């Protein structure tokens, strides 16, 4: 059993359950022993990233309600991280600046990786499983900060083609950073320095994380650096201060890394400078409200605590419905989500709509997982289902390819996902006010290999030229859109078609 399951009061075996924020994020598997391969960590992926400080329950505030041991496909990964004074090893960074370190590392040979062992990585990867990227020029990491012309889309057209050096098992980070780099509204927010006015001086990192991220984006989008590569070491130094689990150079999961990055960036530009004291919800009174009024109430309550450019782009709202099997009483709750983790049906010819149908299908809660019905005042068998109340501008879909704890496996089945016109309006609630929910794919974080030996890359659509490129650490090359959809697709980034 890993550290996460040891430190949580919730059962993590079988179907995961909803955690509404009682578990601080820094307690989640920070010291889990690595296996030194870029495949995801050995515990269950949660279905929904609910965002910082989500504190709702579905029926009532009893310890037996959904705040406790209730079967669910979701988990709220949030909390705060202690400040750590960590300095990046400049000597090691210089060594890595001129070379590529593959992530197809031999599990047998790599028993521990840290900054002191950079020089050994070259000799320890497995040549049988390794894939070496083509060498490309390396940008000078000590170069002065880049200043790009404000609102000059002409300069953007020639940028965005800078690779990222692998620092040692960091392809998971490079893959996500390239996907975020091609998220146009977020990148322009950085390139045009609009984030500066939003820096939250009361944040624990004092803006250092966002500054390092924005500086990296400016390097990636500098047209003078096209077809070269740069080092993300400064950003890594800051993200590991925010999230100590990313210290060192062990394998990590790209979707999990994305969650931490988005939360860290959000906290740095949170418009709420001082959080108000939380008000205990009156669940019985709220159950009497129409769904649209309740949804608006929950959304305003969320924005009173967490409101940023990151929230504007990535956060949607999900409705969870519980129906009592005895009295047919229905209770709804609304929660923010940053991404959706979709189960993959066990069949051939799977589509992303099949995964969404399975995610939103009714699930029966019975046995010890039964919640307390607010009307019956006792535990009852019930059904639970999800639907979408608010569609985000940027929709992140995570395919749950990895399963199991002791005997882990990867589902390498081909999941077909459309490049454009992904219509999700059929998954909306009846009270949803959005009339259209069509999405266009613009980035994919890919995972190739197995559970124990794997590698992350990214396929991204340049938002200004409309050209697709493959990002394999330091190597960048153009690809056709026909090669974007593959069985390696792991985290999908869609943008809402306005």
> Is residue 286 a part of any domain in this protein?
no
- 376 among known catalytic residues: no
pLDDT tens, the chain, 498 aa long: 333 333 333 222 233 323 223 233 222 222 232 333 444 443 333 345 554 444 333 333 332 222 333 233 333 323 322 332 333 333 333 332 333 333 333 322 222 223 222 223 233 323 223 333 333 333 443 344 444 444 445 566 789 999 999 999 999 999 999 999 999 999 999 999 999 999 998 888 999 999 999 999 999 999 999 889 999 999 999 999 999 999 999 989 999 999 999 999 999 999 998 888 877 777 778 878 899 999 999 999 999 999 999 999 999 999 999 999 889 888 899 999 999 999 999 988 899 999 999 999 999 988 788 888 888 888 889 999 999 999 999 999 999 999 866 557 889 999 999 999 999 999 999 999 998 999 999 999 999 998 888 999 999 999 999 999 999 999 999 999 999 999 999 999 999 998
Q: Are residues 381 and 476 in the same domain?
A: no
What does pTM read for this prediction? 0.73
Q: Are residues 60 and 97 in the same domain?
A: no
Q: Are residues 163 and 227 in the same domain?
A: yes
Q: Are residues 111 and 179 in the same domain?
A: yes
> Is residue 285 a part of any domain in this protein?
no
Question: 3-class SS at 363?
Answer: strand
- Find the helix packing angle between 254-268 and 233-242, rounded to 10°: 80
> Is residue 431 a part of any domain in this protein?
yes
Structural domain boundaries, residue 433: 3-80+294-437
Structural tokens at position 189: 């927010």
Residues 46, 41: Cα–Cα separation, whole Å: 13
Q: Are residues 144 and 168 in the same domain?
A: yes
Q: Are residues 104 and 192 in the same domain?
A: yes
> Is residue 133 a part of any domain in this protein?
yes
What kind and span of H or E run contains 471? strand 468-472
Tell me which residue of 74, 434, 401 sits closest to 253, measured CA to CA. Answer: 401
Q: Are residues 133 and 170 in the same domain?
A: yes
Q: Say how many domains are in the chain.
A: 2
Contact in structure between 164 and 474 (CB atoms under 8 Å):
yes
Structural tokens at position 335: 């929660």
Q: Are residues 341 and 252 in the same domain?
A: no
371: domain CATH number is 3.90.70.10
Q: Are residues 425 and 471 in the same domain?
A: no
Active-site hit among 36, 266, 447, 455:
455
**What is the DSSP code (8-state) at residue 341?**
E
Q: Are residues 99 and 188 in the same domain?
A: yes
> Is residue 450 a part of any domain in this protein?
yes
Q: Are residues 433 and 454 in the same domain?
A: no
- 171 among known catalytic residues: yes
> Is residue 55 a part of any domain in this protein?
yes
Tell me which residue of 206, 311, 207 sits closest to 262, measured CA to CA. Answer: 311
Active-site hit among 171, 355, 373, 460:
171
> Is residue 63 a part of any domain in this protein?
yes
> Is residue 42 a part of any domain in this protein?
yes
Residues 498, 236: Cα–Cα separation, whole Å: 34
Structural tokens at position 175: 């893959």
């Amino acid at each position: 059993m890993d550290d996460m399951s040891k430190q949580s009061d919730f059962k993590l075996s079988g179907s995961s359950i909803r955690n509404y924020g009682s578990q601080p994020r820094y307690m989640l598997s920070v010291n889990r022993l690595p296996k030194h391969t870029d495949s995801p960590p050995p515990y269950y992926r949660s279905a929904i990233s609910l965002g910082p400080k989500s504190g709702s329950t579905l029926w009532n505030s009893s310890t037996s309600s959904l705040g406790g041991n209730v079967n669910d496909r979701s988990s709220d990964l949030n909390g705060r991280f202690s400040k750590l004074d960590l300095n990046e090893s400049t000597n090691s960074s210089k060594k890595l600046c001129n070379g590529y370190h593959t992530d197809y590392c031999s599990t047998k040979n790599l028993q521990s990786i840290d900054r002191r062992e950079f020089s050994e990585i070259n000799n320890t990867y497995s040549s049988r499983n390794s894939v070496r990227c083509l060498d490309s020029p390396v940008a000078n990491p000590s170069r002065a900060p880049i200043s790009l012309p404000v609102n000059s889309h002409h300069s953007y057209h020639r940028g965005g083609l800078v690779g990222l050096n692998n620092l040692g098992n960091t392809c998971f980070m490079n893959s996500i950073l390239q996907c975020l780099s091609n998220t146009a509204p977020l990148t322009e927010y950085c390139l045009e320095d609009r984030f500066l006015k939003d820096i939250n001086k009361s944040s624990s990192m004092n803006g250092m994380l966002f500054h390092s991220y924005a500086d990296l984006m400016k390097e990636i989008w500098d047209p003078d650096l096209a077809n070269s590569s740069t080092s993300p070491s400064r950003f890594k130094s800051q993200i590991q201060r925010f999230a100590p689990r990313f210290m060192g150079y062990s394998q990590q999961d790209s979707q999990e890394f994305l969650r931490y990055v988005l939360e860290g960036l959000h906290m740095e530009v949170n418009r709420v400078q001082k959080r108000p004291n939380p008000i205990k919800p009156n669940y019985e009174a709220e159950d009497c409200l129409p769904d649209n009024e309740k949804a608006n109430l929950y959304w305003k309550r969320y924005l009173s605590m967490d409101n940023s450019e990151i929230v504007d782009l990535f956060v949607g709202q999900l409705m969870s419905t519980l129906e009592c099997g005895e009295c047919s009483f229905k209770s709804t709750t609304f929660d923010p989500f940053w991404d959706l983790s979709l189960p993959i049906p066990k069949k051939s010819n799977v589509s992303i709509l099949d995964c969404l149908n399975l995610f939103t299908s009714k699930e029966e809660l019975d046995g010890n997982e039964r919640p307390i019905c607010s009307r019956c005042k006792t535990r009852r068998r019930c059904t639970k289902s999800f639907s979408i109340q608010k569609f985000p501008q940027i929709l992140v879909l995570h395919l749950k390819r990895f399963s199991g704890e002791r005997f882990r496996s990867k589902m390498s089945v081909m999941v077909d996902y459309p490049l454009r016109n992904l219509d999700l309006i059929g998954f909306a609630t009846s009270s949803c006010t959005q009339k259209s929910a069509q999405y266009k794919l613009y980035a994919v974080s890919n995972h190739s290999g197995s559970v124990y030996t794997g590698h992350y890359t990214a396929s991204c659509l340049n938002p200004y030229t409309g050209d697709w490129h493959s990002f394999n650490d330091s190597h960048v090359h153009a690809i056709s859109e026909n090669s974007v959809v593959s069985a390696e697709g792991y985290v999908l980034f869609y943008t809402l078609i306005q």
